[in-house]
Amino acid sequence: MFPLARWRVFPSLVLGAGLSGCAWVAVATAPVKQPASDDSPAAQAADRAFWDTLHAGRYDQIATALEPLQAEYLAHPNDPKLAAHVAFLHIWRVSERGRLDAPPATITDDIALARRYFQEAVALAPDDARFRGFYAGMLMAEGSIHHDEKLTRQGFFAMGDAVDAWPEFNLFARGYVMSPLPYDDPKYADALEDEWKNVDKCIDAAIDRKNPDFAPYMALERRDGPKRACWNSWIAPHNFEGFFLNMGDMVVKSGDPETGRRLYAQAKLSKQYDSWPLKDVLERRIAQAPENVALFRAPAQGERERRIMEQTGFSCTGCHQEK
């Protein structure tokens, strides 16, 4: 026979196990959110404000654009586009913090908010590889902030899945988010390799890595299908130029300023180059490439422009600002 003390404990153990099992069942059987688009006039107005603000590069008006989007999301939390656009504004605010004289420490909270809203967007639109790539990038960023290796690895492998789903889009994204790594970190070499693979994927060929020339492939430009991510679009009016600005930066940082100059020059092949707000920046990049090797590796205090693109005040608008 069990001692009396054990009989007193046993019902508590059974009750605890029962409650734990009930909790598991309750969570497992909870209804899954279903996607539902919000096409109301208010949602359309919020969407226009989002794009107008981004395309005009009005960083100082992010909060103004965010307020109606957030309100619409709260009213319609099943719309993946609303969730994603809220997340994009948080990414933009933290990504281009280099515009600020003294970025507050609390700006890092925008990464956590972006991750949460992209999580909702992915849950509601799991086939949209763009959302998956951005979500993975935010997981890695959040893991880095908290020194949480488990979260960082979770983001890294989620990004791998996003790359498999849409390589033309997410090879760039994976390389871009890792571009601030030290130039001699093996993962930096992997990030640069992603950019080269992205070019090859866009043209279905292997470009000459010492003398890259995109001119023979400009006729491949298109606005539909997976390869649309390789070119300019309404969403990213200077995507092509911004891609080669970043890639040139990454190659310069690796220690090869001459190849970096050749990559910068590819941006000039775009039919929209003359209207690109950053064409003067690109010309300075070409002139300053040898000096920028050291600056991209260890930016000077107070220097805003001569940093690798991901760390500048045009890390998003380099592709998305229209004029």
DSSP 82-135: HHHHHHHHHHHHHHTGGGSSS--GGGGHHHHHHHHHHHHHHHH-TT-HHHHHHH
* Percent of the chain predicted with pLDDT > 90: 87
Domains of the chain: 37-165 (1.25.40.10), 182-323 (no CATH)
6 confidence band (pLDDT: 50, 70, 90): very low
pLDDT value at 323 more than 90: no
The C-alpha atoms of residue 17 and residue 74 are separated, in whole angstroms, by 37
Which pLDDT belongs to residue 39?
Answer: 92
Q: Counting Cβ atoms within 10 Å, is residue 227 exposed (0-12), middle (13-18) or buried (19+)?
A: middle
| Average pLDDT of the residues in 54-66 | 98
**Letter for the amino acid at 3?**
P
16 confidence band (pLDDT: 50, 70, 90): low
Which pLDDT belongs to residue 23?
Answer: 81
Give the pTM: 0.91
Distance from the Cα of residue 273 to its chain's centroid: 23
pLDDT value at 232 more than 50: yes
Count of CA atoms in the C-beta half-sphere (13 A) of 49: 20
| Average pLDDT of the residues in 104-113 | 97
pLDDT value at 20 more than 90: no
**Letter for the amino acid at 287?**
A
* Percent of the chain predicted with pLDDT > 70: 93
CA distances from 251 to 182, 197, 236 (A): 13, 14, 23
pLDDT value at 157 more than 60: yes
CA distances from 112 to 8, 59, 68, 284 (A): 46, 19, 20, 35
Which pLDDT belongs to residue 22?
Answer: 78
Average pLDDT, the chain: 93
Which pLDDT belongs to residue 19?
Answer: 63
The C-alpha atoms of residue 14 and residue 29 are separated, in whole angstroms, by 22
Which pLDDT belongs to residue 2?
Answer: 43
Which candidate, 292, 208, 205, 204, places its Cα nearest to that of 248? 292
| Average pLDDT of the residues in 121-137 | 98
Neighbours of 273 (CB within 10 A): 16
